[in-house]
């Protein structure tokens, strides 16, 4: 009988300790600050659901100079198709001409669907993307295909030459 009382007391004590310790533990939520999680947040914050679907539909399509379909697309072709399908605006086909078509707008006043233009070659505009929100934009990257990217990255900040609106 003594052995049974000790065993029962032992197990009751263990259960009591477990209950107390579980009440004292706190579950921590990890907020990820990775580039991918921030890009996902930018996508989730889009006002336009058709824009969200369009980007998801084209995400990962490889870059192909002069391309205009899912077998490969270039940056100006992607901007051309997106602006036409989502906003009903017919842009010129070439990024340099798209930059001339867009009304200049301050980077601080960019809205969903505005265009961002770059010059990576040091001369005229040679790349275009579409602004989303919170410093993110979507474009057809020559190395990664259609992707959501951070406009605040130094490489983009150095090459940014114009921001504008066509809507």
Q: How far is 2 from 6, CA to CA, in rounded Å?
A: 6
**2 counts as catalytic:** no
Question: CB-based contacts of 167: which residues, under 8 Å, 6+ apart?
Answer: 87, 89, 111, 113, 114
**75 counts as catalytic:** yes
Q: How far is 99 from 112, CA to CA, in rounded Å?
A: 17
Set 128, 139, 149, 164: catalytic member: 139
Question: CB-based contacts of 151: which residues, under 8 Å, 6+ apart?
Answer: 116, 129, 131, 135, 136, 137, 157, 160
Set 51, 126, 127, 128: catalytic member: 127
Phi, psi (deg, nearest 5) at residue 79: -60, -40
**127 counts as catalytic:** yes
Set 43, 51, 61, 75: catalytic member: 75
Which residues are known to be catalytic?
75, 127, 139
């Amino acid at each position: 009988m003594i052995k049974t009382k000790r065993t029962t007391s032992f197990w009751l004590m263990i259960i009591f300790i477990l209950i107390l310790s579980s009440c004292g533990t706190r579950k921590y939520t990890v907020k990820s600050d990775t580039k991918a999680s921030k890009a996902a947040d930018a996508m989730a914050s889009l006002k336009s659901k058709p824009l969200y679907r369009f980007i998801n539909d084209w995400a990962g399509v490889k870059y192909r100079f002069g391309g205009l379909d899912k077998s490969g697309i270039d940056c100006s072709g992607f901007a051309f198709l997106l602006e036409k399908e989502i906003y009903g605006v017919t842009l010129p086909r070439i990024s340099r001409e798209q930059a001339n078509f867009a009304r200049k707008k301050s980077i601080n006043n960019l809205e969903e669907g505005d265009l961002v233009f770059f010059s990576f070659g040091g001369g005229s505009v040679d790349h275009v993307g579409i602004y989303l929100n919170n410093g993110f934009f979507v474009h057809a990257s020559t190395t990664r295909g259609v992707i959501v990217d951070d406009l605040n990255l130094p490489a983009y900040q150095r090459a940014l030459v114009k921001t504008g609106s066509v809507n």
